Structures are given as structure tokens and as C-alpha cells.
Amino acid sequence: MVRRLIVALLSCSFGFFVFAFPEMCNSQTVTLPQEVEGVAKKEKPQNLDSIRSEDLLPASTKLWVSIPDAKSMEKHFESTQFNKLAKDPAIKPFIDGLRDQIKDWMQSQNVRLGMDLDDLEGVHSGEICVAGVLPQVTGEDVKGTHGIVMLIDVSETYDEAKKLQVKINEQLIESGAVQTTKKMNGIDVIVSTIKRKRLRNNQTNHQAIVGKKWMLVSDNEQIFGDVLRRLAAPAKIRKAETLAAQPAFTEVMKRTELKPHTSHVRWFVDPFGYIQLAQALEDETRQNRTQRDDWASIMKNQGMGAAKGVGGNISIATGEHELLHQTFTYAPRDSSVKNSNRMFELFDFSPTAGKKLDPPKWVPEDCSSYLSGNWNFQKALNSFGYVYDAFIGEEGSFDRLKSDFKIDPDMQLDIDKLVGLLDNRFTVVSATVKPIDETSERIIIGFPIKGSPDFVYNSFKRATGGQEIVLSGVKVIRVDSEEPESSGIDPGPFDLPDDLEEEEEEEEEEREFSLFEERFFVVIKDHLLVANNKDYLKKLIQKLNAKKDSKLVESPDYVQINKALAKISNPKNVGWRQFGRIDRVLEANYEMLRRGEMAKSQTVLARVVNQVFKKKAEEAAAQEGKELDPEAVRKQKLDGSDLPADYAKSIAPYFGPIGWVMETEKDGWRITGCVLKKKVMTEVVQKVGAKKSTQR
């Protein structure tokens, strides 16, 4: 079962690539940048046993996921409560079904590395790595230059790896591949080529096992040859040309070290490099090559290019933590990066001196999750204006939009004044009410305001066109996503200018997707609250009127998480704080899944999933020249009928509290988080063990 966890993790990694990298194939020769050719004769020679995947992959790697030691990861996972749950006979059939669906989905996505995911269980003995690569191409189309690379340490399972290679090739031949064997860097390489009608290039698969140590597979000959060259002569590796030597990679790895704990998963993404790769692949496989906006370049030019890399480390079962993780977004303040200051203003999460991130008074003690953070909304609004203008393609567009909202007689919305009244902090709380049904999830978003409560209330009333109701003697604005607003706008994305909506005017207007069926807005006690349920909002209003502080801060699990996070972060730099009770967060979705009613659930997760399925169904219908049946409802694909009915006894004890904090540093943002064991279960296990010892 633990080996299956690794397979599932790889499935997710593959899925991430395949979702964005649907067609990676080409055959080219390797050309090294001139500045690298003469480098590094003074560098310390490496040998095959000491190198890691980042020493083999090129500098042009845009996405990288690595399990440094698969066996160690398995061993650590065995001691977690998650593993105990996975082994529970009552939950095992569902886990197996979920795993099979992931496997089937992966196979349906045409993963061209040629492997059945189960086969990996028998061949790994050390590191397993998957990477997406896009070499730098100057003055050329990027199509065909991209690829997937997989590296597996088979030093202890060489014979099994050779058998797997035979199996892969048999499966490829059955799929219509033409196979040849050739020498590359003195090593035998098996090359499979499959013709695909809908692709401009043939699909290829390259495999080799080098030095009875590394199994290398890739769907791109150029990239395969580049990695193989280093494997064949590790002593001649030019470090400057590898992923390991890139400043963003090294900085991210350094800033997320989990010492003294061992890292079981490492990952890294070059944000805009990855987006460029994904967009190139999408363009390459489009049947209709229509021109689209290059939004990534727009964002990069507006200062987001300051983000050079995102990545981190994950450790399992450290002793204190079920799971420990750190993620760092590396964004050096480089004056040479165009408009880089705008990024730091848009995402100014700096902690406010003298203001703690303790729960506001309205936060209930029995909530499922709590998130609160600092955000300089005025700076963010100004920076967003530049981005908006860039997307529209006309300077001053955002100022004109704000002016239109302000002078419109029905709206009279002064965005600058409204944002200026928000006190640079937000809080998001979730809760689950019983009995469980499709509407059991509660979400509340809160903002402290600096003053002018009537102005804030009236601004939202005009902007939403909502209906005014009264709860506990307080005026509340009700907005129903299923009903057209009488006036104003919905507080979602801004309407686009007329010239960008021209194509949609002939079609029937489709209502914007909303996370909530209903929304309720209230301004009370210097707080703006937005909720998805009237009765729950009424409860919070009564709590605020009672003038009592939130007791969440005294809850043992909240205190436990805060103490754990204080040991691994710098409280002075913390600008965001999150706390969650996994058992309560999952309960509503679990119960609806068990009943087979997930498709009609109104939880945020269910609404998002339903929207994704709807969009996919619409695209499929459009390709077939059909109209989507409006009565069609997404059918629940996972069978949860055999799941235990008693959630509190069978499932909840396996899930402890979770939390994370975000620290703002001068050159980026670091998220540090952990999952802890549930104390109730731990104490029960200890008592049972002590009792048995006494009886002996």
C-alpha cells in the first residue's frame, strides 16, 4: 500500500505535466549555449553514484518533482495516521477505486513515457524524478523543443528495470510504434516512433539504463541526448548548464531546508518558463490556430517577472509532525526587471506592527478552518490598475472604469474610497453544520473597516443590486446567484469593454460562475462580513453584539498548531496565518460522496468540480457540433457507497489539526506548514498500549 502512495504521487506529477504538456515530441541535435562551452574544467569532477537529478537536468528545466529516496519515504509514511487509514479494511475499497481512476485517467491522457504506473513499484531503489524541459530557442518557434524527462535510480533493482524496459517496448509496439536501437554517447538507446495524425510531429520514446544506476526515459531526442551526455560522462558535467546551478533553484532549495529533518519530496517551478511551455504546447495542438492574448507576457511586463522560481521541500513523519513543508517564492528586488516594484505592491502582505493575527471576535470556536492575513489593499488596487490597462491595451482604462462606476446614477461606487476604508486585513472562516446535507458548508469572509459604515454598506448595496433584509435587528444585503440583479454589478470580475465583448453579444448571456448559491453582506461593529448562509450569519451577528472575544484562540488544537509553527518560523515576519481541522473540513464532502450526492452538493469543492465538468462537456459537445443538454447533470464517478457511515468513529480520528504561516522577506515569501497527529487518537493508542503492557 505504501508503494502505491508513491505511484499515486507520481500519478499526480504526471497528471500535472500531461494536463499542460499534452504533446511533447521532437528530434533535434543538442546545441549548448556558447557561454557554457568553456566552463568548469576547475569544477570538482562528479561520479554517477554521487549525482542527483538536478545535476543531470538542463538549466532550461521549467518544472521538477523529485522523491530523493523512495524507500525512506515509504518507511516514514508507514508511521503516519494517513497510512493507518489507508490500511483500514472499511476504507480500502474506496482507496483502491480512487487509485484505479487516477491510473485510468493517466492512461487516457496518452502519457508517452510508455510505463504502466504499477510497474514503478518494482524498479525504484533511490530517487525518482519527473521534469518538464523547454530549451531556450532564439528567433525560432518553440514547438517541438519541449519534453518530459523521467529519471529512476535502479541501482538495487537493475534486473527488474531491464524486465520493465522489455515490457514498455512490447506495449509500444502493440500501440503501433516502430522501434530501432542506436548508439548515443556510446550507450544503447531504444527509440520508438509512433505516427499521430493530429500532431505535426511523430511521437517518440527514448529509453536507456546507464551504468546499472539510472533509468532514463524521455519523449524528446534533444533533451534525452542532453541528459544522457551527462550520465555517460559525469566527470565532465559543466555545472553551469544544469538545473542545480541556477540561482532561483539554489535559492529556493536553500530557503526551504527542513533540517534536521529529511526531505522526502522536492519540487521547483520556473513560473513564466512553465507558462511559456504550456502555452506553446496548447498552440501546437489546437485544431484552429486562432490568435490569443499572451497574458503571461503581459503579467511579466507588469512586474510579475520578478518571480524567478517557486518550490520547496516536504518531510513526512518527523516525529512531531505528520507532515512538514516549506515553500518559497523567490522574487529578488532587481531594478533591471521592468516594473518589478508593482509585484511587491500588489502582494504587500507585510505584518502590521502591534497587530496580531488572532481571530477576530466574530470567529466561532467550532469552525472548521481559519485564515487571516495582512494585505495592503490600496497598494494592490493601484498596481492592479496597471495590469488592467495592460490587458485592455490602453493607458488610463482602469481610471476611466472607476470613474464610470462613480458617476453612474444607479451605482455611485467610489472604489478608491471604499478600498481605502478596508483596514488592510482579511479573514476567511469555514464551518460545517449538522445534519449534513448539500448546504451544510458555511463560508464567511470578513474585513475590518476604518470607519464610515453607512458608506460601505450602501456601496455594496448599489453595486450588487441585492435585496435588503433584516437579521437580529441589523440590515443585511442578500444576493442570489440564480436570480438576475436588479441593478449594478455582481462583485466578481469586472465587465469587459464593449470591444472585447463583441463576439458574445449574439449569444445568450451566460451567468457568471459563483462559488456561493447566495451571498449576504453586512456591516457591523467595524466589520464587513460576507457569508453564504443567512442563519449562520445571524449567529455571528449575535456573537458580535454579545461583545465577547473569540474563544478559538484558547482551543487546544489551535494552541498546539501555533506552538509547532512558532518553532519553525519567525513570528516577526508572519503576515498570514492559517489553522484547520481536517476532519471537519472533509466531513460535508465525505458524507455527500458516501450518499452518491456529490454532484448536487453546494460546497465550494463540489461547485468548482461541477463547473469544470460542465466546461469540459461543453467543449466536447462543441467539437461534435452538438449543443449541451441543459438538463444534463454530472454523475458522481467515485463510488462511495461502501464508505463507513459513522464518520466520527471511522474517519475523523485519523486527521489531526493543520496550519501554516506566510512570512514576508525582502526577496520573496515563504510558507511553512505542518499537519499534526490528532491528540485524542494518540492518547487512546497510548492508553491501550499501556494497558496491554500491564496485563503482561
156 is written with which cell numbers?
Answer: 538495487
Q: What value does the mean pLDDT take over residues 662-668?
A: 93
- In angstroms, the CA 152 to CA 65 distance is 12
Look at residue 460 in the predicted model and tell me its pLDDT: 93
Class of residue 600 by CB neighbours under 10 A (exposed 0-12, middle 13-18, buried 19+): middle
Domain boundaries of the chain, sorted by first residue: 2-284, 334-498+512-662
Is 571 a residue whose pLDDT tops 70?
yes
What CA dihedral angle connects 376, 380, 383 and 388, to 10 degrees? -170
Is 297 a residue whose pLDDT tops 90?
no
Percent over 90 (pLDDT), the chain: 42
Q: Which of 21-25, 139-143, 556-560, 628-632 has the lowest mean pLDDT?
A: 21-25
Name the helix (H) or strand (E) containing 126. Answer: none
Is 367 a residue whose pLDDT tops 90?
yes
Name the helix (H) or strand (E) containing 443. Answer: strand 441-448
Look at residue 9 in the predicted model and tell me its pLDDT: 33
685 phi and psi angles, rounded to 5 deg? -60, -40
Q: Which of 687, 671, 657, 75 is nearest to 321 (CA)?
A: 657
- In angstroms, the CA 84 to CA 73 distance is 15
80 phi and psi angles, rounded to 5 deg? -90, 160
DSSP notation for 322-350 = SEEEEEEEE----TTSTTHHHHHHHT--P
Query: What is the residue-averaged pLDDT of the chain?
Result: 79
Is 481 a residue whose pLDDT tops 50?
yes
- In angstroms, the CA 48 to CA 212 distance is 10
- In angstroms, the CA 238 to CA 256 distance is 25
Look at residue 346 in the predicted model and tell me its pLDDT: 92
Q: What value does the mean pLDDT take over residues 295-323?
A: 90
Contacting residues for 551 by C-beta, under 8 A, at least 6 apart: 365
Contacting residues for 223 by C-beta, under 8 A, at least 6 apart: 58, 133, 135, 147, 149
Greater model confidence, 171 or 378: 378
- Encode pLDDT of 504-522 as tens digits: 444 444 555 455 678 999 9
Look at residue 695 in the predicted model and tell me its pLDDT: 44
Greater model confidence, 135 or 565: 565
- Encode pLDDT of 96-132 as tens digits: 777 776 666 555 444 456 565 566 666 777 899 999 8
Is 606 a residue whose pLDDT tops 80?
no
Name the helix (H) or strand (E) containing 404. Answer: helix 397-407
Look at residue 561 in the predicted model and tell me its pLDDT: 95
Greater model confidence, 217 or 490: 217
Look at residue 637 in the predicted model and tell me its pLDDT: 64
- Assign 418 a pLDDT band (cuts: 50, 70, 90): very high
- CB neighbourhood size of 128 (10 A): 25
Q: Which of 407-411, 487-491, 672-676 has the lowest mean pLDDT?
A: 487-491
Residue 672: how many CA atoms within 13 Å on its side-chain side? Answer: 22
Is 63 a residue whose pLDDT tops 50?
yes
